[in-house]
Structure 1
Amino acid sequence: GLVASDSFGGLRALLVPSEKRKPIGGAKRRGRVLAFGMEAAGRWSLVRRDSGGGEGRDTVVEHVARALLRRYGVVFWRLLAREGAWLPPWRDLLRVYRRLEARGEIRGGRFVAGFSGEQYALPEAVGLLREIRRRPGSGEWISLSGADPLNLIGVLTPGPRLAALTGNRVLYRDGLPIAALSGGKIEFLTTLDEASRWEAEKRLIRSAARGQLADLA
């Protein structure tokens, strides 16, 4: 419980006897060895634990608050519905955001319509929101895993949520969710013509196949 990895490659390598692991640095080893090793295990990070002290907790809460701002650009209560249970209470995050706003480091206001409560944003995010609002649609397609933090179907948009599973996919066009893949079935979230439906299905299936290959790597 001291470190965490962003993939299962490291765990697989640790479960294999040392004589069957792939040597580090390209060294040769007799006999059959597995194709994967610790060098392909992804990123490792220390698991930070709260010491229980008030000052230490305040530092942790501020770190989390800043990380959420870097992730989303704009933060408000509803947006965090998909975050883990480990997240500090919203009231604690609010104290940090109010303090950062008083320092002039972030902006407070109404950046996303349709949601009540306080909202805070990075100064550069406010400019980007204005720019995107004025920019004409380019028809850009983006497919994301259901486990991606930007899977906000049912959180910021009407309808049921898409489970945060790596096998699920959500497809965006010009920043709006138009289709989702869940349990091998495609659901369209808006009305599309036949050509767009075909293109959406093709992109979802391709992205799901790439995700499965990445999991096997």
Structure 2
Amino acid sequence: SYADDPVDEESGKMASHEHWAHQLAKRYGVVFRDVLKRETMPVTWRELVGHYRKMEWQGAMRGGRFVSGFPGEQFALPEAVEALRAVRRDPHAGAQEIRLSPADPLNLVGIILPGERISPLTSRPIVFRHGVPVAEAATVVHLA
């Protein structure tokens, strides 16, 4: 039967892993093992790497060292690479204050950013300046 076909099951698993690889790349722009610590997913980093290498061969991703201080392979979408280059060229880029909900997937404080993890359940936004978390808004709690 169809349900018992190991080939169909394996191709379905591969499609699911490929979906996760694309989803995570869109979410983060730059993907590496440590950035995925907060994710719960049915795919391992090793399985994702295979998909990212395939995407790199197709020109959809780039492999390299994009974020310093983290070992292992890193992959980035071409538009993320360009954004990182633009920030490096312009010393004023990122100078504006950015407020981020603690529940946002980009809340990587305590994961890849300095400081203790901030619970996604707190209602106070995190304030970033130059890409560094500096405070929790509302009752200002300075982080750096």
Fold in common (TM above 0.5)? yes
| RMSD, aligned CA | 1.9
Whichever residue aligns with residue 142 of structure 2, its letter is F
Q: Which has the larger radius of gyration?
A: 1
* Distance across 2 between alignment mates of 1:100 and 1:172: 32
Whichever residue aligns with residue 141 of structure 2, its letter is E
Normalised to the residue count of structure 1, the TM-score between the two structures is 0.58
| Percent identity of paired positions between Structure 1 and Structure 2 | 46
Which blocks of at least 5 consecutive residues in structure 2 are unaligned? Answer: 1-7
2:83 match: 128
Deviant stretches of 4+, over 3 Å: none
Q: 1:158 aligns with which of 111, 114, 118?
A: 114
Is the counterpart of residue 56 in structure 1 residue 12 in structure 2?
A: yes
How many residue pairs end up in the alignment?
A: 136
User: Is the contact made by 2:113 and 2:132 (CA closer than 8 Å) also made in structure 1?
Assistant: no
Q: 1:66 aligns with which of 22, 25, 32?
A: 22
Q: 2:135 aligns with which of 162, 170, 179?
A: 179
Q: Secondary structure at the match of 2:47?
A: helix
Q: Provide Cα deviations, 1:92-140, integer angstroms capped at 9, x if missing partner.
A: 1111111111222211000000000100011121111010112122631
Task: Trace 1:75-154 onto structure 2 (pairs within 5 A).
Answer: 75-83=31-39, 85-137=40-92, 139-154=95-110
Q: Which has the higher contact order (CA 8 A, sep 6+)?
A: 2
Normalised to the residue count of structure 2, the TM-score between the two structures is 0.85
* Distance across 2 between alignment mates of 1:101 and 1:136: 29
Q: Secondary structure at the match of 1:88?
A: coil
* Distance across 2 between alignment mates of 1:87 and 1:133: 35
